[in-house]
């Protein structure tokens, strides 16, 4: 089996959806008594990879009961509509505040076109298919789903976006965390462990809500974190404390330079985030040079700067 599919413990398989590059975004298949749930879809372009993974795991398409997405950003949920066509018995589980964008993806489409441009949209995301509303389910906070008796719990976790939820798997004490517990790439792992950093993506990022969500999830005392970006890692309280610290530092950084012009702000934010990242990469003994690590992280840094700027604008509007 290729490294695109990795079997973890407790009937969980991680699928690399090859969004932008290998090792950046994943999807998880949870199997119990030959029944399955898919968590995260990747972009629509990844649908053949997901179907291929099901075939390799000998799971009939009819046995997929649910597609669950942590939020409606297209690297997490872009494939949901097309997958519903391919998986006849599956329903789409999505946060109540995100479901309208799955049923009518015109807003998602417009903003993706703005960010990517038409050509890159096609090459990176592949398209967007509406989800029929009668096949969507909007779980409440702490609502349960049973997969052949295996309990999965939806937990609403605003912060990265208001329409963000995570899925708690009691059997493995694992959290399918979407972007609520940060991003961590395996090629940056050092002898001192992984480098985990926040995803402060536009346009709904809120640092205070992010920290509250992190605390709520760490109180569950999980054993594993199944990150969408990228891969499953061991839970470690120190990592969570440091994630909180980075969020506070990011927000402070943004707040301190709020009077600057937008271009100055963006440059200073980027420099500040780079410095915070560099300190951590050095502390874990990351095997890559900082220049190499910067190539891995540059896209996320840019997005984080945009999200922080957006958060600041919103605060200023609120303060009048």
Selection from 96, 242, 222 nearest residue 158 by Cα: 96
Q: Are the C-beta atoms of 95 and 165 separated by less than 8 Å?
A: yes
Residue 102 three-state SS: helix
How many residues of this chain bind Zn ion (CB under 5 A)? 2
> In this chain, which of 16, 65, 169, 179 binds Zn ion, going by CB under 5 A?
179
- Range in contact with Zn ion (rule: CB under 5 A) among 73-81, 92-100, 237-245, 271-279: 73-81
CB of 75: closest distance to Zn ion in angstroms? 5
Toward Zn ion, which CB reaches closer, 42 or 174? 42
CB of 61: closest distance to Zn ion in angstroms? 26
Residues 6+ apart with CB under 8 A from 56: 1, 5
- Range in contact with Zn ion (rule: CB under 5 A) among 62-70, 88-96, 143-151, 177-185: 177-185
Instruction: Based on the shown chain and the rule CB under 5 A, indicate whether residue 75 belongs to the binding site for Zn ion.
Output: yes
CB burial of residue 315 (10 Å; 0-12, 13-18, 19+) = middle
User: Token pair for residue 8?
Assistant: 């973890």
CB of 41: closest distance to Zn ion in angstroms? 12
CB of 163: closest distance to Zn ion in angstroms? 13
Instruction: Based on the shown chain and the rule CB under 5 A, indicate whether residue 231 belongs to the binding site for Zn ion.
Output: no
Toward Zn ion, which CB reaches closer, 65 or 179? 179
Toward Zn ion, which CB reaches closer, 28 or 150? 28
User: Token pair for residue 46?
Assistant: 């990844």
- Range in contact with Zn ion (rule: CB under 5 A) among 48-56, 140-148, 178-186, 261-269: 178-186
Toward Zn ion, which CB reaches closer, 35 or 160? 160
- Range in contact with Zn ion (rule: CB under 5 A) among 45-53, 82-90, 173-181, 307-315: 173-181
- Range in contact with Zn ion (rule: CB under 5 A) among 36-44, 75-83, 115-123, 272-280: 75-83
Residues 6+ apart with CB under 8 A from 60: 54
Instruction: Based on the shown chain and the rule CB under 5 A, indicate whether residue 40 belongs to the binding site for Zn ion.
Output: no
Toward Zn ion, which CB reaches closer, 181 or 240? 181
Report residue 55: phi and psi, to 5°.
-60, -45
Residues 6+ apart with CB under 8 A from 103: 130, 131, 132, 133, 136
Toward Zn ion, which CB reaches closer, 75 or 231? 75
Selection from 171, 161, 165 nearest residue 202 by Cα: 161
CB burial of residue 36 (10 Å; 0-12, 13-18, 19+) = buried
Distance CA 28, CA 73 (A): 16
Toward Zn ion, which CB reaches closer, 50 or 257? 50
Site residues, Zn ion (CB under 5 A) = 75, 179
């Amino acid at each position: 089996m290729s490294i695109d599919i990795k079997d973890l413990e407790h009937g969980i398989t991680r699928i690399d959806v090859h969004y932008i590059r290998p090792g950046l975004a994943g999807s998880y298949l949870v199997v119990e008594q030959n029944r399955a749930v898919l968590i995260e879809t990747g972009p629509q372009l990844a649908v053949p990879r997901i179907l291929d993974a099901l075939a390799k795991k000998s799971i009939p398409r009819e046995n997929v009961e649910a597609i669950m997405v942590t939020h409606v950003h297209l690297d997490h949920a872009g494939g949901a509509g097309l997958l519903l066509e391919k998986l006849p018995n599956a329903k789409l589980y999505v946060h109540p505040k995100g479901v309208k964008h799955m049923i009518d993806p015109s807003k998602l489409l417009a903003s993706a076109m703005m960010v990517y441009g038409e050509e890159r949209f096609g090459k990176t995301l592949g398209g967007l298919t509406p989800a029929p509303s009668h096949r969507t389910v909007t779980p409440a906070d702490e609502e349960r789903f049973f997969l052949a008796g295996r309990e999965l719990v939806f937990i609403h976790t605003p912060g990265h976006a208001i329409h963000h939820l995570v899925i708690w798997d009691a059997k493995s004490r694992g959290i399918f965390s979407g972007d609520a517990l940060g991003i961590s790439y395996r090629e940056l792992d050092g002898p001192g462990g992984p480098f985990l950093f926040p995803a402060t993506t536009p346009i709904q990022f809120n640092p205070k809500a992010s920290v509250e969500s992190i605390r709520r999830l760490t109180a569950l005392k999980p054993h594993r974190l199944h990150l969408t970006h990228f891969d499953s890692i061991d839970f470690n309280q120190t990592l969570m404390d440091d994630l909180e610290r980075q969020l506070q530092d990011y927000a402070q950084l943004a707040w301190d330079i709020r009077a600057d012009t937008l271009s100055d702000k963006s440059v200073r934010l980027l420099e500040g985030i780079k410095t915070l990242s560099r300190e951590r990469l050095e502390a874990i003994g990351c095997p890559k040079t900082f220049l190499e690590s910067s190539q891995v992280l540059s896209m996320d840094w840019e997005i984080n700067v945009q999200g922080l700027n957006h958060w600041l604008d919103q605060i200023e509007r609120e303060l009048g």
